[in-house]
Amino acid sequence: MIPQLLWIALAGGLLATGCRGVPTAGEQAARQDLAMVAGKYQSGASLHPTNQPVLPVLTAGGSMSNFLAYALLNSPSVAAAYQDWAAAVERITVARSRPDPKLTFSAHIQNDLTSLMPGLMQDLPGPGKLKSAAGVATAESRAQYFAFETAVLQAAFEFKRAYFNLYFLEERLRINRRTLTLLTDLEASARAQNEVGQASLQDVYRAQIDREQLRTEIANLEDSRGMLLAGYKAALGLTCGQADPPLPAPFAETPLDLTGDELLKVALANNPRLQEASAEVTLAEASMAQARKSRVPDFSAGLQAEVYEPPFYWPQAGMTLPLWRDKLAAELAAAQAGKRAAAARLTAEQIGLAVDVAARTYDYRESTRNLALLEEQLIPKAQKSLALARAGYLSGRVDFSNLRDAERTWLNLQLTEIQERARREITLAELSLVIAGRPPAGAPVLAARH
């Protein structure tokens, strides 16, 4: 009886202390990637909820990179994508591990207990099944990484867009307030001309109408600041109950340093949505390999020891019989269909990416041409025209309608310049981040793809 008890004690000790499996090469690479990103993200590689990134301090007039880093580290969507990726990496270990052993117990009871047999049973997946399951989990984790990178780049774009909208709102307000001062002066000029009989009272009313309309527009723009500020706070990951954040230093315009063809090459190599679609093709291929392994039987082996009549052992063995051919064929067909669908999605992403690059580069070039025209030709001429019209009105050579037209043209051209500048900067941010997949400096993503 002593050997049986020692054998049972040894089995119990193994179960109590636990064992460790052998990680696959894909699992080791995935964990290295996770550790590398965790070092940048500053949240650790575990899923513990207290692991929070260390956020930079935001100060008024601080660098754009500091605010951008805050937005990426504090973004809930980035955090969710990171944890999804971390969970996918952990599932590789689950997939490649053997099933847990089982403690068994049987007894023969007639009038009394005549036989007592504790034992140990182990299920053994068929050859190659654990490896193929680990391959599927590894491919899934790779796809989840690119989903995380997409979330990082999208969060960076959303911050830049929110900041540009808020910044250019202030520019519109600046120009409208400047124009309001001009309209006040025009009203005073109209009054003065009316008093000496060189202008009608209608000119004064027209000046007052334009002034009050512009005051209302300024009030509407000031009211919209709250909406844009809410979007700016959201892009920084701040809730409505938190204090309003400061604004960074005014941005410096950044020209596009790539042509359309060069940008497309960069996007095809780096775009994370494209990389995710490619990883899904790899995942589908791994699923096909796993489906083929369904034909391989699984095994089980165990041993029971008789306590009352030592030494007496009962070896046990079993094997599954994969007989259902329609089931096996359906599993393989489903995996093949999944691969074809993933390949089609990859092709669709490539086509869509080419269209996006062409459309956005056109938008950028158009905005650049429009800005050059406005800054170099139209606005300077409109300003001179307004000055001539004002001087002519004061001398009685120009009527008030011409003066109003000159003033409105000057104002509209300035507002158009702001709209084109905002459009160009947002397009450039989208080209660089979302389409070309070029992460900002210090972004918590892998430095090199492999």
146-186 pLDDT per residue, tens: 999 999 999 999 999 999 999 999 999 999 999 999 888 88
Residue 239, Cβ density class (10 Å: 0-12 exposed, 13-18 middle, ≥19 buried) = exposed
* Three-class SS state of 311: coil
Has residue 445 been placed in a domain? no
How do residues 331-347 score in pLDDT, each as one tens digit? 999 999 999 999 999 99
Q: Return the pLDDT at 51.
A: 60
* Three-class SS state of 213: helix
Has residue 442 been placed in a domain? no
pLDDT band for position 12 (50/70/90)?
low
How do residues 374-405 score in pLDDT, each as one tens digit? 999 999 999 999 999 988 888 888 888 888 89
Handedness of CA 91, 93, 95, 97 (dihedral sign): negative
How is the beta sheet containing 102-109 ordered, strand by strand?
A: 102-109, 113-124, 299-305, 313-319
Q: Average pLDDT of 39-43?
A: 74
Mean pLDDT estimate for the chain:
86
Number of domains in the chain: 1
Q: Return the pLDDT at 310.
A: 66
How do residues 59-117 score in pLDDT, each as one tens digit? 988 888 899 999 999 999 999 999 999 999 999 999 999 998 888 888 777 777 767 78
d(CA 308, CA 261): 82
Q: Average pLDDT of 31-47?
A: 75
Is 228's pLDDT higher than 70?
yes
Least confident of 10-14, 354-358, 420-424: 10-14
Are 440 and 433 in contact, with CB atoms under 8 Å apart? yes
Q: Which domain holds residue 286?
A: 2-50+64-106+115-294+308-435
d(CA 126, CA 319): 9
Has residue 326 been placed in a domain? yes
Has residue 339 been placed in a domain? yes
Whole-structure pTM value: 0.86
DSSP 322-353: ---HHHHHHHHHHHHHHHHHHHHHHHHHHHHH
Q: Return the pLDDT at 382.
A: 95
Has residue 125 been placed in a domain? yes
d(CA 4, CA 7): 5
Has residue 8 been placed in a domain? yes
Has residue 446 been placed in a domain? no
Q: Can you give the CATH number for the domain in which 138 is found? A: 1.20.1600.10
Percent of the chain with pLDDT over 90: 52
Q: Average pLDDT of 264-287?
A: 91
Has residue 391 been placed in a domain? yes
Q: Return the pLDDT at 249.
A: 85
Cα–chain center distance at 317? 51
